[in-house]
Amino acid sequence: MRFTSEQRLDDGVHERAFTLGGIPGILWTPASVPAPAPLILLGHPPLGLRGMYPRLVDRARRSAAEGFATATIELPGSGDRPRLPAVERARAGLRRVREAGEPVTDELVDALVLPLVDQAVPEWRAALDALLSLPEIGGPVGYSGGVISLGVRLAVVEPRIVAAGLFAGSFVPRALFEEARRVTVPLHVLLQWDDEGNDRQAALDLFDAFGSEEKTLHANMGGHTGVPRFAGDAVTEFFIRHVK
Amino acid sequence: MRFTSEQRLDDGVHERAFTLGGIPGILWTPASVPAPAPLILLGHPPLGLRGMYPRLVDRARRSAAEGFATATIELPGSGDRPRLPAVERARAGLRRVREAGEPVTDELVDALVLPLVDQAVPEWRAALDALLSLPEIGGPVGYSGGVISLGVRLAVVEPRIVAAGLFAGSFVPRALFEEARRVTVPLHVLLQWDDEGNDRQAALDLFDAFGSEEKTLHANMGGHTGVPRFAGDAVTEFFIRHVK
């Protein structure tokens, strides 16, 4: 892990860009860290860190105000990373079926999501190794938002993640429903009820499938990108309860 | 409205029992009320105020800590009030179909809920008239919990109610789905996901039907009576946003 740039934001949050095995990432730590800070991994959609930066830094600042460090890395095939040809073909296929008004098949969902998750999971775990080796970062670790299938897989395979805040805003391969049954950490799931690009019933079925004893679903209005401010605050409250 | 008894709780909350047109009720006001307090009407299931008292006083105390007055009245046919023979017959019918493992018909739901709501709505509105005439109570007014159909009807017909926290834990007649479309105030709906006595799909359909621009669904585990503490806190946060 190599830091490539750093800055202090106006609220004192320390932002450092890094690279790890060629993958770019960003780490935010609170203005004052008397003890090693608990860490929240910030998930995001596969649209590139640069474009997602404003929303990520907003989440980082709100988390830092509660004493959390946050970090994220670029997803496979996004930003400046090499494209994943199979996923690109699946995205073109998705555009075609949507324009034709046809249903999105299970095969297409698998092709869109599984290669991304398969490659991303070991990368996020390697990032976790590196981040937890820093003296200013302690544990425990939470995972928040982004591609929900990545969050589910990480919650199953990564024992250092003690709580997950998931955003039910993207396609979920059938295989992930089986993995969901093996999730046991506390979960906080956001669902935008009027998210037209999302399959609401699939999101509810996935919530039902989770094996966690404590799981909470927050459904709100505002469309895919219109998560209300108070719903974001509730995610922070969830992490305060579980990742401190 | 005639006060029949009063006491100070250990946290300073002022509790007064009252009677209004022969209907018993309870009013709680915060320990210190520098200005007229906003009011939350506390709904409850038709099990009698006496039996519900521990849970009601808990909600009253938590609301008072945030500066809210709270009040509730006995439902028709509950507590010491005369039974409603038609509703009693419907309840006996419900026990029979449940023991026989048969489905609960729309007609049975209507018979269970509609007479109760038809009679309760004018009573709750009369209570609101009386409560708002007290110098220590101001506006605005919220409605919280209890028989969801009563909350829906009140939210439609009572313009002084500016926000409603509803508990999706009881049967909903089909006619109420039409009324739900006419609800426009901000809504916060609690659903116990693993509430075996409740029809989860009907609760989700009702949430979908609400006409409110701001509506939030919080689904949690814990069974019918096991609403987690943090979910109760979220209801209070909702009222702080809308009823102050």
Q: Name the residue ranges covered by the structural domains of chain B.
A: 2-242
This prediction has a pTM of: 0.93
pLDDT at A241: 96
Per-residue pLDDT tens over the stretch B26-48:
999 999 877 899 999 999 999 99
Mutate to test the interface with B, among A185, A191, A218 (most CBs of B within 10 A): A218
Predicted confidence at residue B11, as pLDDT, reads 93
With cut-offs at 50, 70 and 90, classify the pLDDT of residue A32: confident
- pLDDT confidence bin for B162, thresholds 50/70/90: very high
Return the CATH number of the domain spanning residue range A2-242: 3.40.50.1820
Closest CA–CA distance from residue A119 to any residue of chain B (Å): 32
CB contact under 8 A, B217 and A216: no
Percent of chain A exceeding pLDDT 70 equals 100
Do the Cβ atoms of B5 and B26 come closer than 8 Å? no
Residues 8-67 of B with CB under 8 A from A: none
pLDDT tens by residue, B83-98: 999 999 999 999 999 9
CB B191 within 8 A of CB B203: yes
Half-sphere exposure of A4 toward its Cβ, with a 13 Å CA cutoff?
Answer: 10
The overall longest dimension of chain B from CA atoms, in Å, is 57
- Contact of B242 with chain A, judged by CB distance below 8 Å, is answered with no
Tokens 């590139």 belong to A48
Q: B-chain residues within 8 Å CB-CB of A228? A: 214, 216
- B129 — alpha (psi -120 to 50), left (phi > 0) or beta? alpha
The pLDDT-based confidence of B139 (bands split at 50, 70, 90) is: confident
Closest to B237 in 3D by CA, of B12, B56, B40, B29 = B40
The pLDDT score that the predictor gives to residue A116 is 97
Confidence of residue A18 (pLDDT cuts 50, 70, 90): very high
At residue B197, does pLDDT exceed 90? no
Q: Sort A175 into a burial class: Cβ within 10 Å, 0-12 / 13-18 / 19+.
A: middle
Interchain proximity B217–A215, CB inside 8 Å:
no
How much is the pLDDT for B114? Answer: 97
Interface test with A, best of B200, B205, B207, B217 (most A CBs within 10 A): B217
Q: Does B241 touch chain A (CB under 8 A)?
A: yes
Whether the CB-CB separation of B124 and B151 falls below 8 Å is answered with: no
Q: A217, B241: Cβ pair inside 8 Å? A: no
Quick check: B230 and A237 CB within 8 A? yes
Q: pLDDT value at position B242?
A: 97
What does each C-alpha distance from A51 to A44, A46, A57, A171, B231 come to in angstroms?
Answer: 11, 10, 11, 21, 34
* Residue numbers in A near B213 (CB within 8 A): 221
Among chain B residues, the shortest Cα distance to A226 is held by: B214
A197 pLDDT tier (thresholds 50, 70, 90): confident
Residue B226: its pLDDT value, please? 93
Mean pLDDT of A116-137: 97
Q: Do residues B176 and B152 touch, judged by C-beta distance below 8 A?
A: yes
| pLDDT tens digits for range A60-109 | 999 999 999 999 999 999 999 999 999 999 999 999 999 999 999 999 99
User: Which of B192, B216, B229, B235 is most worth mutating to test chain A (most A CB atoms within 10 A of its CB)?
Assistant: B216
Residue A213, chain B, CB below 8 Å: the answer is yes
Cα A112 off chain centre by = 17
Mean pLDDT of the A235-239 span: 96
What is the pLDDT at residue B170? Answer: 85
Question: Using a CB-CB distance cutoff of 8 angstroms, which residues of chain A are in contact with residue B228?
Answer: 214, 216
pLDDT value of position A170: 84
One-character DSSP codes across chain A:
-EEEEEEE-TTS-EEEEEEETTEEEEEEE-S--SSPEEEEEEE--SS-HHHHHHHHHHHHHHHHTTT-EEEEEPPTTSTTSPP-HHHHHHHHHHHHHHHTTPPPPHHHHHHHHHHHHHHHHHHHHHHHHHHHTSTTEEEEEEEEES-HHHHHHHHHH-TTEEEEEEE--S---HHHHHHHHT--S-EEEEEETT-TTS-HHHHHHHHHH---SSEEEEEE-S-TT---HHHHHHHHHHHHHH--
Distance CA B78, CA B52 (A): 11
What element of type H or E holds B109? helix B106-132
Q: What is the mean pLDDT of chain B?
A: 95
**Considering chain B, what percentage of its residues have pLDDT values greater than 70?**
100
Question: Which residue in the set A204, A216, A241 is minimally distant from B204, CB to CB?
Answer: A204
Partners of B207 on chain A (C-beta within 8 Å) are 193, 219
Residue of A194, A213, A221 to mutate when probing chain B, most B C-beta within 10 A? A221
